[in-house]
Amino acid sequence: MKSDILILGSGPAGYTAAIYTSRAGLSTSLVSGLMPGGQLTMTVEVENFPGFPHGIDGLTLMENMKQQALRFGTIIINGYVTSVDFKRRPFSAEVDGMRYEADAVIIATGASAIWLGLSSEKKLIGKGVSACATCDGFFFKEKDVVVVGGGDTALEEALFLTKFAKKVTIVHRRDALRATKILQDRAMANPKIEFAWKKTILDILDVDAGKVTAVKLKDVESDEITELKCDGVFIAIGHKPNTELFKGQIELDEKGYIITKKSSMETNVPGVFAAGDVQDSSYKQAVTAAGTGCMAAIDAKKYLEGKTIKL
Query: What's the CATH superfamily of 2-112+239-304?
Result: FAD/NAD(P)-binding domain (3.50.50.60)
Intrachain domains 2-112+239-304 and 115-235 with the same fold: yes
pTM of this structure:
0.77
173 contacts: CB under 8 Å, gap ≥ 6:
150, 198, 199, 200, 220
Domain ranges in the chain are 2-112+239-304, 115-235
Considering the chain, what percentage of its residues have pLDDT values greater than 90? 77
pLDDT at 310 over 60: no
The domain over range 115-235 is classified in CATH as 3.50.50.60: yes
**Cβ–Cβ under 8 Å, residues 258 and 246:** yes
What does the pLDDT average to over 113-128? 90
Per-residue pLDDT tens digits for 258-308: 999 999 999 999 999 999 999 998 787 889 999 999 999 999 999 999 854
- 3-state SS assignment for residue 210: coil
**Cβ–Cβ under 8 Å, residues 194 and 169:** yes
Question: Which range (22-31, 32-41, 104-113, 230-239) has the least confidence?
Answer: 32-41
**Cβ–Cβ under 8 Å, residues 233 and 128:** yes
| Amino acid code (one letter) for 118 | L
pLDDT at 158 over 50: yes
d(CA 190, CA 152): 16
Go through the chain and tell me how many residues it has: 311
Per-residue pLDDT tens digits for 174-198: 999 988 899 999 999 999 999 999 9
**Looking at residue 311, what is its pLDDT?**
37
pLDDT at 169 over 90: yes
**Looking at residue 309, what is its pLDDT?**
44
CA angle 235, 41, 98 (to 5 degrees): 105
Q: Which of 217, 218, 165 is nearest to 192 (CA)?
A: 165
**Looking at residue 40, what is its pLDDT?**
77
Task: State the virtual CA torsion across 197, 211, 234, 42 in degrees, nearest 10.
Answer: 180
111-113 and 239-241 strand pairing: antiparallel
Active site residues: 132, 135-136
Per-residue pLDDT tens digits for 19-63: 999 999 999 999 998 878 887 776 666 778 899 999 888 889 999
**Cα atoms in the Cβ-side hemisphere of radius 13 Å centred on 164:** 18
